[in-house]
Amino acid sequence: YEHRHRSQSQSYQGNNVAGKVQDDVNNNPEVQEYIIDRGTKTTYLKGKFLGKGGFARCYEMTDLTTNVVYAGKIIPKSRLAKPHQKEKIAREVDLHSKLDHSNVVKFHHYFEDDNNVYIVLENCTRKSLVHVLKHRRTLTEPEVRYYMVHLVYGCRYVHSQKVIHRDLKLGNMLLNEEMQVKIGDLGLATRVEATTNRKITICGTPNYIAPEVLNKEGHGYEADFWAIGCIMYALLVGRPPFETATLKDTYARISANRYTLPSYLSSSARSLIIQLLNPDPSLRPTLDATLQHPFFSSGLLPKSLPGSCCTHQPKFP
């Protein structure tokens, strides 16, 4: 009956909806149009498909009691068959649910039903800096100051909670409607234990992997500083600093600290990139020191950015 009812309503609403429903049926037959959290007796309406990650497919999810639209990560339990996969999700939920900062994606709720696990998050309507860079290729230095300050604020908060993100990258820098930066995806994050303040092991491959992590020398907060340097470079230059055709060559470049700085970069931008990409983690500037760097005072630092910056270069006065 459910199926007949759905196909009937499709024909009223036209091809788009039919296409979407077909997409769901093809890719994830378990996922229903209405999702019910039996624990809190909340019904969510599943909406637009937002993107897919390692385990999850992400959809708009509207809480029908409040009409608030969230981003829901839906993870089929069939993909969590192995104990370490369950543990990975449990750790992500445990770490993320305790974080509360304007530059970190807000964790709203977690629940499960027979088929799926649901992680309900603040909806970031303007997607991520990957999408911005796709349209823009490179950004202006005032914009990069803006994004970097927000990224550093968010990261400083995460570190203050004794958590290392370990996978900071453009795709994990989400943007809400107001163009505020929200750090997301705590899937590779770890808590720094009280006894040892270095974490040795990591499961998964970070995008902007630091040399000390490659060399298995341990993984501290400084690995996030490295990734922030890679992000700054990518935003200004349009490609990551150590990018090559193969992972092997990229790792060789990271180990050799071999990257080029285009001549159009300002001297203060170069200087900050060089400091953050220091091969010796103990010599990288802390986040507070990063914010004190002349790069942030050498030119305009916008208080906000218009949404048009996602696709068009802004004209600053």
* Binding residue (CB under 6 A) for ligand ADP from 56, 104, 269, 305: 56
From the centroid of its chain, how far is CA 264? 28
Q: Is 93 in the site for ligand ADP (CB under 6 A)?
A: no
Q: Which is nearer to ligand ADP, 105 or 269 (CB)?
A: 105
Check if 167 is active-site.
yes
| Residues in contact with ligand ADP, shown as a per-residue x/- string from 162 to 201 under the rule CB under 6 A | ---------x--x---------xx-x--------------
Tokens in use for 221? Answer: 């907060």
How far is Cα 145 from Cα 289, in angstroms, rounded to an integer?
A: 15
- Residue 133 DSSP code: H
* Binding residue (CB under 6 A) for ligand ADP from 58, 117, 129, 227: 58
Q: Is 55 in the site for ligand ADP (CB under 6 A)?
A: yes
Q: Which is nearer to ligand ADP, 72 or 211 (CB)?
A: 72
Q: Is 222 in the site for ligand ADP (CB under 6 A)?
A: no
Q: Which is nearer to ligand ADP, 103 or 140 (CB)?
A: 103
Sign of CA dihedral 149, 151, 152, 153: positive
Q: Is 71 in the site for ligand ADP (CB under 6 A)?
A: yes
Q: What values do phi and psi take at 122, rounded to 5?
A: -50, 135
How far is Cα 264 from Cα 284, in angstroms, rounded to an integer?
A: 24
| Residues in contact with ligand ADP, shown as a per-residue x/- string from 120 to 159 under the rule CB under 6 A | -xxxx--x--------------------------------
Task: Quickly tell me which residue has 């163009």 as its tokens.
Answer: 179
273 three-class SS: helix
Exposure of 40 by Cβ count < 10 A (0-12 exposed, 13-18 middle, 19+ buried)?
exposed
Stretch that binds ligand ADP, among 31-39, 116-124, 147-155, 291-299 (CB under 6 A): 116-124
Upper half-sphere CA count for residue 18 (Cβ side, 13 Å): 10
What sections of 98-176 are H helices per DSSP?
129-136, 141-160
**How far is the CA of 73 from the CAs of 3, 184, 275, 314, in angstroms?**
24, 12, 36, 33
* Sequence ranges of the binding site: 73
Q: Which is nearer to ligand ADP, 147 or 259 (CB)?
A: 147
Residue 164: CB minimum distance to ligand ADP, A: 17
Stretch that binds ligand ADP, among 33-41, 44-52, 239-247, 298-306 (CB under 6 A): 44-52
How far is Cα 158 from Cα 220, in angstroms, rounded to an integer?
A: 13
- Total chain residues near ligand ADP (CB under 6 A): 21
Q: Which of 167, 185, 224, 249 is catalytic?
A: 167
* Binding residue (CB under 6 A) for ligand ADP from 17, 37, 51, 192: 51
**In the chain, what are the helix, strand and coil shares in percent, each to the nearest 5?**
40, 20, 40
Residue 241: CB minimum distance to ligand ADP, A: 22
* Sequence ranges of the binding site for ATP: 73
Q: Is 302 in the site for ligand ADP (CB under 6 A)?
A: no
Note whether 296 and 288 are within 8 A (CB).
Answer: no
Nearest to 273 by CA among 256, 255, 292, 259: 259
Write out the catalytic residue numbers. Answer: 167
Which residues contact ligand ADP (rule: CB under 6 A)?
A: 50-56, 58, 71, 73, 105, 121-124, 127, 171, 174, 184-185, 187
